[in-house]
Structure 1
């Protein structure tokens, strides 16, 4: 085994598919997840690109919390509404156990595992059933309480969107896409798109996302 090597602190993302055992075609599900990860890897710079690890779980690592949150939302939007995903994000030191096989361990990974378990537990309670994302850190960080509060609200809005509104949100995540272009694709008026952006909370999701993705 390669010599163990300590790494600097990074932000680790662990994701999985919600209720994957109920999927009628698990092979198609796996292909859809892999395609989404490839697309997000092309957009969000990573220290360790997102990849499927085992079963329906995937992992990646980032230099900032904002980048990890950006990647998580993009993966989710690529797969909704057919496939829903859950994310645990952890900040902490990462130790390389085997560089040849890319095997890592350490507080960053433990925090991410704790976070995804917390997200699942929170979603198991009726008032917060739409929660899909949680953040934890190896070292005490009170500021993460505010981040998790924002994620509870953001996940509720995303989880409440119709299929059309999800497509609009996904399109508007690209800063070069205009509401007029989306209106043409949807076969509706530009004013109808604007109304949905306001009424369905799409604008609020985008505004929150811009703030969250800027986090160090």
Structure 2
């Protein structure tokens, strides 16, 4: 059982340069994976505005997708559907096609988060879905992940571009002093920005997910 991810670009048709946005997302995913290698298969563009990836656990997926969201610049955002279940790759004309309940669940999840954005949770960007037939413990884990994901997305979506960069830096272990030097501000300004945005909770959540994913 693994966690599969289907991602698409939010409001892609409104972007002035969709090709450049896709390049930015590709670089962002590569950076996040370099800083925290958690994927079995990192998010990769497959068709149109869609990306797909695979992670060993729901925690690894949640941690990796947080870094991607934090690293994306203003004006470019993605939503993510995470499916938990089995994968059965299909060989077709020399190609391996991802298939199976986990992928069906991921498709349901990305459609669900888009619906949430349009109705009750405009800042929602991530949804988790268990494949049909999974046991009660997995279903409970998915429910907890969704409760966490909705709160986390609210915080991240409310951050400024700079605060997301600072939060990303803290997630991957950079000091406030180094971040202040890079941004050209004082360490006190960094501390205040992180505190006002609730970044400490996001960072602690990331560390907990990463520890669970690599233990």
TM-score normalised by length of structure 2 = 0.89
Q: Corresponding residue for 2:190?
A: 193
Q: 1:102 aligns to what SS in structure 2?
A: strand
Structure 1 regions of 5+ residues with no counterpart? 1-8
Deviates more, 1:151-160 or 1:179-188: 179-188
- Residue 74 in structure 1 maps to residue 72 in structure 2: no
Paired residues of 1:65 and 1:213 also in contact (CA < 8 A): no
Q: Corresponding residue for 2:18?
A: 26
Q: Deviation of residue 202 (structure 1)? A: 0.9
Matches within 5 A, 1:5-84: 9-42=1-34, 43-84=36-77
Paired residues of 1:17 and 1:57 also in contact (CA < 8 A): yes
Matches within 5 A, 1:41-190: 41-42=33-34, 43-98=36-91, 100-125=94-119, 127-138=120-131, 139=134, 140=136, 141-175=139-173, 177-190=174-187
Higher helix content, 1 or 2: 2
TM-score normalised by length of structure 1 = 0.89
Aligned length: 206
- The one-character-per-residue Cα deviations of 1:140-184 (angstroms, maximum 9, x if unpaired) are 512322211111110000000112211211221211x10011111
Counterpart pick for 2:199 among 197, 202, 209: 202
